[in-house]
Amino acid sequence: MMYGITGTPGTGKSVVGTELSRRGYTVIHLTDTVKPYVIGDDEARDTRLIDVDRWAAEFVPVDGFVEGHFAHLLPCDRIIVLRCRPDVLKSRLGSREYKEGKIRENVEAEALDSCLIETAENFRPDQIFELDTTSRDTVSCADMIEQFIQGKIPPGFGTLDWSGFLEVY
């Protein structure tokens, strides 16, 4: 079984993946797999451009977890969407020294449920688990993910509404 962990940058994908790896799961950090698929840079958005269609088509499934912003583009058996309240996300991205425009783009994407919507377009509702990481530590997030993949926590999503965090520019 391949399980995906997706979400906006800063929601906790990498640290949760590292915790799951520590617990003995195979975890592929998708940032480690995209280098051959980089097709350029978008300097205005401060990001790399990746041929995600080719990357997804050539990705070899694993028995374990795949974590990364594009995990919802892979044929996972179940998918976890990590979420974070936009004001907290803004602080997390700022501490990573993201540029203001990149912070704004990601905070807006989180407030508009962008990753969740893309995930819901690619998966059945019974495959999706939305997890708010805003005030949870890494261990409790990993615990909840384990419970979800074991069927101890039911799937569910769509209960968070952070549209009130949208700012007018």
pLDDT of residue 86 exceeding 90, the answer is yes
Using DSSP's 3-state secondary structure scheme, residue 79 falls into strand
pLDDT of residue 167 exceeding 70, the answer is no
Element (H, E) at 117: helix 114-122
Residue-wise pLDDT for 50-79, tens only, equals: 888 998 999 999 999 999 999 999 999 999
Count of CB atoms situated within 10 Å of the CB of 36: 10
pLDDT of residue 139 exceeding 70, the answer is yes
pTM, full prediction: 0.92
- Binning pLDDT at 50, 70 and 90, where does residue 123 land? very high
The whole-chain average pLDDT of the chain stands at: 92
Using DSSP's 3-state secondary structure scheme, residue 82 falls into strand
Lowest mean pLDDT, pick from 102-106, 139-143, 160-164, 165-169: 165-169
Biggest distance spanned by C-alpha atoms of the chain: 45
Q: Which domains does the chain have, with CATH numbers?
A: 2-165 (3.40.50.300)
Lateral strand order in the sheet of 64-67: 27-29, 64-67, 2-7, 78-83, 128-132
Give mean pLDDT, residues 84-112.
Answer: 92
Residue-wise pLDDT for 9-57, tens only, equals: 999 999 999 999 999 999 999 989 988 888 887 776 767 778 889 989 9
- Binning pLDDT at 50, 70 and 90, where does residue 163 land? confident
pLDDT of residue 121 exceeding 60, the answer is yes
Residue 22: what pLDDT? Answer: 98
- Tokens standing for 73? 């583009």
Count of CB atoms situated within 10 Å of the CB of 160: 18
Interacting residues of 113 by C-beta distance below 8 A, sequence separation 6+: 160, 162
pLDDT of residue 168 exceeding 70, the answer is no
